[in-house]
A and B are shown apart, each in its own frame.
Chain A
Amino acid sequence: MARLIINGKTHVVDVDPATPLLWAIREQVGLTGTKYGCGIALCGSCTVHIDGAPVRSCTMPVSAAEGKQITTIEGLAVKDALTKVQKAWLEHEVPQCGYCQSGMIMAVEALLKDKPKPTDADIDAAITNICRCGTFQQVRAAIHAAAKA
């Protein structure tokens, strides 16, 4: 059994403590907005926030996340009110297939908390998510727009 606090709600889940957090979130808790892409913390599709910091949940064991504040993509829009990042994503129509975008948005939310007015170099350093559809041009524009909002 593990106690996970996700989007402000506590879930007690029956899971082997070595299970990656990603799979506990997707399978035991049932929140599937966080995606599996590579399983080796490279692509960033599984990015969540743990105590506010971006973490690639596919390689973090559940045991390391117990008791901490975990935020997933589903936890961003409170009562359907989009965050400024989500609004910028909507305005710039960033997603194509959209599969990587949960992780992309989570990484960007964390970046803007750390650096509210990021430069292009800040973006290049912080946003290392893979997007095979190639939405990067829109991602960059939307980050700058969110920073100005």
Chain B
Amino acid sequence: MINTPKITRRTFLISTAAAGGGLALGLSIPFGSALVHAADGSPEITAWVVIRPDDTVVIRIARSEMGQGTLTGLAQMVTEELECDWSHVTTEYPTPGQSVARKRVWGDFSTGGSRGIRESHEYVRRGGATARMMLIQAAAEAWQVPAAECSAAKSVITHKPSGRKTTYGKVAAAASKITPPKDVALKDPKDWKIIGKRVRRLDTLDKLTGKQVYGADLKLPGMLNATIRECPVFGGKVKSFDAAKVAQMKGVKKVVQVGDTAVAVVADTWWQAKTALDALPVVWDEGPNARVSSASIAETLKAGLDAPQAFVGNQNGDAKAAIAGAAKKIEAVYAYPYQNHATMEPMNATARYTPERCEVWCPTQNGEAAFAATLAASGLPADKCEVYKIHLGGGFGRRGAFHDYVTQAVLIARQMPGIPVKLLWTREEDMTQGRYHPVTQCKLTGAFDAGNNLTGLHMRISGQSILTAVRPQALQDGRDPAQFQGVAPSGEFAFGYGIDHLLIDHAMRNPHVPPGFWRGVNINQNAIYIECFMDELALAAGQDPLEFRRKLMGKHPKHLAVLNAVAEKAGWGKPAPKGVFRGLAQMKAFNSYVAACAEVSVSGGNKVKVHRIVCATDPGYAVNPAQIERQIAGSFVYGLSALFDQECTVKNGRIEQDNFHTYDSMRIAQMPKVESIIMPSGGFWGGVGEPTICVAAPAVLNAFFAATGKRIRSFPLKNHGIAMV
């Protein structure tokens, strides 16, 4: 629905829209030379500062908080330039419907790709600075003094020569009528007072007392509850169902078909709906995909490893010739499985539909995408729809590009006009109707000359493209650029090694299982492929894995800096505790440089204890180091759970794993000690939520090899009888 136009000029304007019982300073960026009021102007980026008479500052956040801390980080950035009192800052979400009505005054709502802060840092800071200048101007005009003689700190404006003082709350109304300044200077990072500080999150307390309302907790007057079952074979449809069998069950209000593919039961309570759905006979038209299995998918991918046609993602020199003429050649094939996001809170949405209006309450990583799904499913225009974002019980990518659960909720609500209906999936539905981390295989071939120098590398990826399924307009002549995350020639996923003859290419093979963006996306498997193979090459060359990498990283000093940092802190090259072995990995992902050194011990050949992981990240700027540490440690839990235990297998066209007993997740007993080195070098902005996830798995795998001499190349490790203890 949304195309983002290019910004040709950035000027902040003021809106007098009242909000939150106070005054809203709406900050928008119009096009062209004419100043355009926010209400009728720009379709692009905005930050919102609302100042109430009691000096409370409400900072509006378009991105979604799902645990990653972006809400607090973005508020810190506005506060830094606004010079308001942090202890009086609160936040709220604008709605997508308001955004559309005001021509996208808040800009992008999408919260994925670790972009929340790194792609809005400039305009939110500018928003804060502009508001500060207008507030000072308002005070200066009231005092009839030059604004240059006034300054602001902690929401108090002071006229230095006379010592007069006033507060933001007192001048906010006057400030809103002032023409915003054209030239807004941002602070030099060395002058930051709150950006870079370990300030406390703004959203902790309610999560400790049960007060925090998640989408699954929403209550509306007269609301009914629903649960749904979609054809378990992707691409299949509903053939028939026998509603009469359950219509008389207690609490059941209605059995409805949802689109072509699903059936839902609506009841007084969710448990009644679930009980009835469990008893409902449904016949599926499973279609041709019912013949697909994990084995057939693996065969398809395997054929891609040597296919003559492939999309090139990174190339220099002549890798094939270097390999053909090599004194020594090393080859390995890796494979990575489907995985589910398994957010703790299953998918859900609440909808109320009438022919005049459709409203949706949902946890979403992208309010605008949820809004688009609401429009499409309701058939109503934008001015008759609204979406209210409710706190997410986890996102990890599942609730960003996909709003199947919103579509379903609206389609159900359309069949019960006027009645709010909350649709909540069972865990089983959540596990079997995912948007899965895609499958790939990878063949890596390295070439050495007679002097044992690495001269060539060919990395052939075969497998599923997310963009082809989800965002085909982002393909480049059919090629999926996201496939090369971490091994790209330049940019936010740049490869960190200089190799004379390099070829990294992708044979696209797209099975029917729907793929999705899964925390880290394609860096997860690419990091395993390249960083484990680097250790394989080092072994073949008879060199230390760190020294082998260093020789190839001369032109990539920032990649090397994080690698060196973890090696030094972990004590690489020095004796480890008895029975403990180390492994390394590095990557550039989402514009941050990351590296890890894992320490493991292995008992009985298959019981792996991950004792410690030292991690370094250079995200350019570190807005809140305390939250970055939590993202690092948390991403390792997500990544190591995937490495050891998680695979969604396909049988008869459907996913076999349907709950945590077959799709396990790490517990506290397995948690390694995570030591974080946050080393922002400045001058660029990198992400935080996803980048570090990718280095945990290869670092552990390389340590496992150091401990056992066994190189594992397909995942999860449970398939090899290897367990994390």
* CB–CB A140/B671 < 8 A: yes
| B271 A130 Cβ-Cβ under 8 A | no
Is there an interface contact between B208 and A105, defined as CB atoms closer than 8 Å? yes
- Per the 8 Å Cβ criterion, residues 105-136 of A in contact with B are 105, 123-125, 127-136
B326: CB under 8 A from chain A? no
Q: How far is the CB of B674 from chain A (nearest CB, A)?
A: 6
Q: Is the CB–CB distance between B394 and A99 below 8 Å?
A: yes
Partner of A33, one of B200, B211, B343, B344: B211
**In whole Å, how far is B675's beta carbon from the nearest beta carbon of chain A?**
10
Query: Nearest residue in B to A23 (C-beta to C-beta)?
Result: B271
* CB-based nearest A residue for B669: A124
In the bound complex, how far is the Cα of B214 from the Cα of A32, in angstroms? 9
Answer yes or no: B638 CB below 8 A from chain A CBs: yes
The interface-forming segment of B118-126, B436-444, B528-536, B658-666 is B658-666
Cross-interface CB contact of B394 among A36, A123, A132, cutoff 8 Å: A132
Q: Are B209 and A130 in contact (CB under 8 A)?
A: no
State the B residues within 8 Å of A (CB). Answer: 66-69, 200-201, 203-214, 216-217, 219, 225, 250, 269-271, 342-346, 391-396, 424, 426-428, 626, 630, 633-638, 659-661, 665-669, 671, 673-674
Q: Number of residues in A with C-beta < 8 Å to the partner?
A: 57
Whether A40 sits at the interface, judged by CB under 8 Å, is yes
Question: What are 17 A-B pairs with beta-carbon distances under 8 A?
Answer: A19-B271, A26-B270, A35-B214, A35-B345, A35-B393, A38-B660, A82-B208, A93-B630, A97-B345, A101-B207, A101-B208, A125-B669, A132-B394, A133-B67, A133-B394, A136-B668, A140-B668
* Contact residues in B for A30 (Cβ distance below 8 Å): 219
Any B CB within 8 A of the CB of A1: no
Are B667 and A33 in contact, with the CB atoms below 8 A?
no
Complex Cα–Cα for A102 and B271 (A): 21
Complex contact A74–B344 (CB within 8 A) = no
For A98, what are the chain B residues with a Cβ–Cβ distance below 8 Å? Answer: 67, 203, 206-207, 212, 391, 393
Q: Given the interface contacts A35-B344, A134-B638, does A95 sit within 8 Å of B209 by beta carbon?
A: no
CA A83 to CA B426, docked complex, whole Å: 32
Residue pairs across A and B with CB atoms within 8 Å: the count is 172
Chain A residues with CB below 8 A from B271, complex form = 19-20, 23, 27
Is A93 a contact of B638 with CB atoms below 8 Å? no
Q: Closest 6 A-B residue pairs measured CB to CB? A: A33-B210, A134-B637, A98-B207, A99-B393, A96-B67, A97-B67
Are A74 and B209 in contact, CB atoms less than 8 angstroms apart?
yes
Asked if A42 lies at the interface with its beta carbon under 8 angstroms from chain B, I say yes
* Contacting residues, chain B, for A132 (C-beta < 8 A): 342-344, 394, 396, 637-638, 665
- Please state if A36 and B630 are interface contacts (CB–CB under 8 Å): no
Give the dominant DSSP class at B's interface.
loop
* B630 pairs with A138, CB closer than 8 A: yes
Cβ contacts under 8 Å, A33 to chain B: 209-211
Distance from B149 Cβ to chain A, minimum over Cβ atoms (Å):
41
Given A27-B269, A124-B669, A135-B634, the answer on whether A97 and B210 have CB atoms closer than 8 Å is no
Q: Which of B200, B396, B426 is A39 in contact with, Cβ under 8 Å?
A: B426
Smallest CB separation, B28 vs chain A (Å): 31
Q: Least Cβ distance of A108 to chain B in Å?
A: 10
CA distance A76 to B344 in the complex (A): 22
Given the interface pairs A99-B345, A136-B666, the reply to whether A34 lies near B210 with Cβ below 8 Å is yes
Q: Quick one: which of A43, A93, A97 contacts B200, CB cutoff 8 A?
A: A93
Contact A139:B392 (CB < 8 A) given known A33-B209, A93-B201, A93-B626: no
Assess whether B344 is in contact with A37, with CB atoms less than 8 Å apart.
yes
Residues of A within 8 A of B208 (CB): 77, 82, 86, 89-90, 95, 101, 105
Could you say which residues of chain B place their CB within 8 Å of the CB of A31? 210
Q: Are B269 and A36 in contact (CB under 8 A)?
A: no
When chains A and B are docked, how far (Å) is the Cα of A145 from the Cα of B296? 52
Q: How far is the CA of A66 from the CA of B3 in the complex (A)?
A: 56
Structural contact, B660 and A40, CB atoms closer than 8 A = yes
A16 is an interface residue with CB less than 8 A from chain B: yes
Is residue A57 contacting chain B, with contact meaning CB distance below 8 A? no
The reply to whether A134 and B666 contact each other, CB–CB distance below 8 Å, is yes
Interchain nearest-CB distance for A91 vs B (Å): 9
Q: A35-B216, A95-B208, A96-B68 are in contact. List 7 more A-B contacts (CB 8 A).
A: A27-B269, A36-B346, A40-B427, A99-B394, A128-B668, A133-B344, A137-B673
Contact between chains at A124 and B668 (CB < 8 Å): yes
Contact present for A37 and B427 (CB under 8 Å) = yes
Per-position 1/0 for A51-75, Cβ under 8 A of B: 0000000000000000000001110
